[in-house]
């Protein structure tokens, strides 16, 4: 009986309806292009919908090879996230909280959610896209490859979503950030995008936006510096690394990277000073810092000998 009652509980919805956050509108709707699905291919259909909303012209057929696992007759969350990144978009896994889902919708970001439409012991997994909600009616609007946008009770949604471990994600253009997440989570998504083949350019756009929204988050400045350096923009790279050292003066990586950028800019004396700072901080990458200092050369700041007067 306790397990049955727990399965029927809707704590997140109950809390949300009892005390709606002041910055969350009472209702919101997004118009999202609809794509039908083939058998068991709700994952590609859901991804196509959110990618289309993020400015990527794509169809479910374009995504089947990336996310559909025939042996499982479905798609797994890691493949869903990876497919978005391979399309040059920012894929962010949301907190397992319905407030985060509704906050994204209110910001105009459709959300992919994983539901179990059956019992935990005989699951029927299904991906849907949240495109709206109405707290006064206690409804949420879902769109999936099998059905255009329609409403279901919020409590019904929470039960099916909870059986899917409350997994949710957004797919966004690189210069659009999720509304509900903290800088560390957004940075992690940008870093994952950077690691994808061909993703560094899009990641650089994301890092720029992160530094504007969260200017005191040093890791985003380091990410911006790394991607700018890799794309040959040495001045932006050095400026970003310098900002990181000001925010995190004990971060040896920031100082070492600044040294590398300054050396490439033809500023060996400043580069050597930054490298020595990294060496003095030490840490797991101390050997790398020492190598940077050696490559710049101990004579980088040597003054030319004065001319002899006769």
Q: Are 150 and 290 found together in one domain?
A: no
Query: Which domain CATH number covers 107?
Result: 3.90.70.10
* 306: in domain: no
DSSP for 241-252 reads: HHHHHHH-TT-H
Structural domain containing residue 112: 7-172
Query: CB 203: neighbour CB atoms within 10 A?
Result: 26
**Number of alpha carbons in the 13 Å side-chain half-sphere of residue 161:** 28
Q: Are 230 and 287 found together in one domain?
A: yes
* 11: in domain: yes
* 310: in domain: no
* 129: in domain: yes
* 305: in domain: no
Cα distance between residue 132 and residue 109, in whole Å: 10
Q: Which of 42, 52, 107, 39 is nearest to 77 (CA)?
A: 42
Q: Are 156 and 191 found together in one domain?
A: no
Number of domains in the chain: 2
Q: Which of 303, 282, 81, 299 is nearest to 172 (CA)?
A: 81
Per-residue pLDDT of the chain (310 residues; tens, 9 = 90+): 334 434 568 999 999 999 999 999 999 999 999 998 776 578 899 999 999 999 999 999 898 877 865 555 567 899 999 999 999 999 999 999 999 999 999 999 999 999 998 877 778 889 999 999 999 999 999 998 777 899 999 999 999 999 999 999 999 999 999 999 999 999 999 999 999 999 999 999 999 999 999 999 999 999 999 999 999 999 999 999 999 999 999 999 999 999 999 999 999 999 999 999 999 999 999 999 999 999 998 777 765 544 444 4
Cα distance between residue 140 and residue 135, in whole Å: 8
- Nearby residues of 284 by Cβ (< 8 Å), 6 or more positions away: none
Q: Are 188 and 141 found together in one domain?
A: no
Give the residues across from 142 on adjacent strands: 130, 150
* 153: in domain: yes
Question: Which residue bears the tokens 């039908």?
Answer: 36
Q: Are 14 and 123 found together in one domain?
A: yes
Question: Which residue bears the tokens 């949301």?
Answer: 94
Provide the pLDDT for residue 309.
45
Query: Which domain CATH number covers 278?
Result: 1.25.40.10
Structure tokens, 303: 């003054």
- Nearby residues of 59 by Cβ (< 8 Å), 6 or more positions away: 35, 48
Q: Are 129 and 191 found together in one domain?
A: no
Provide the pLDDT for residue 144.
86
pTM reported for the whole predicted model = 0.89
Q: Are 16 and 161 found together in one domain?
A: yes
Provide the pLDDT for residue 305.
45
Q: Are 21 and 94 found together in one domain?
A: yes
Q: Are 11 and 152 found together in one domain?
A: yes
């Amino acid at each position: 009986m306790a397990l049955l009652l727990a399965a029927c509980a809707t704590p997140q919805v109950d809390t949300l309806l009892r005390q709606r956050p002041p910055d969350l509108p009472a209702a919101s709707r997004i118009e999202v292009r609809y794509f039908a699905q083939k058998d068991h291919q709700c994952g590609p259909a859901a991804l196509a919908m959110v990618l289309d909303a993020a400015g990527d012209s794509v169809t479910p057929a374009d995504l089947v090879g990336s996310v559909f696992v025939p042996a499982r007759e479905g798609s797994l969350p890691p493949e869903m996230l990876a497919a978005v990144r391979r399309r040059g978009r920012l894929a962010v896994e949301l907190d397992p909280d319905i407030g985060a889902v509704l906050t994204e919708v209110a910001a105009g970001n459709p959300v992919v959610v994983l539901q179990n439409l059956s019992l935990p012991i005989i699951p029927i997994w299904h991906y849907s896209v949240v495109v709206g909600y109405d707290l006064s009616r206690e409804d949420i609007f879902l769109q999936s490859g099998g059905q255009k946008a329609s409403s279901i009770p919020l409590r019904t949604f929470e039960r099916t979503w909870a059986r899917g471990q409350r997994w949710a994600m957004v797919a966004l253009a690189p210069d659009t950030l999720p509304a509900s997440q903290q800088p560390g989570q957004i940075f992690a998504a940008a870093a994952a995008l950077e690691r994808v083949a061909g993703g560094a350019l899009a990641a650089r756009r994301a890092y720029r936006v992160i530094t504007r929204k969260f200017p005191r988050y040093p890791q985003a400045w380091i990410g911006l510096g790394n991607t700018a350096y890799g794309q040959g923009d040495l001045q932006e790279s050095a400026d970003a690394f310098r900002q990181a050292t000001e925010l995190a003066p004990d971060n040896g990586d920031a100082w070492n990277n600044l040294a590398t950028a300054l050396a490439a800019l033809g500023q060996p004396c400043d580069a050597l000073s930054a490298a020595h700072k990294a060496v003095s901080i030490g840490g797991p990458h101390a050997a790398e810092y020492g190598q940077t200092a050696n490559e710049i050369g101990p004579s980088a700041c040597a003054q030319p000998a004065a001319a002899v007067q006769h």
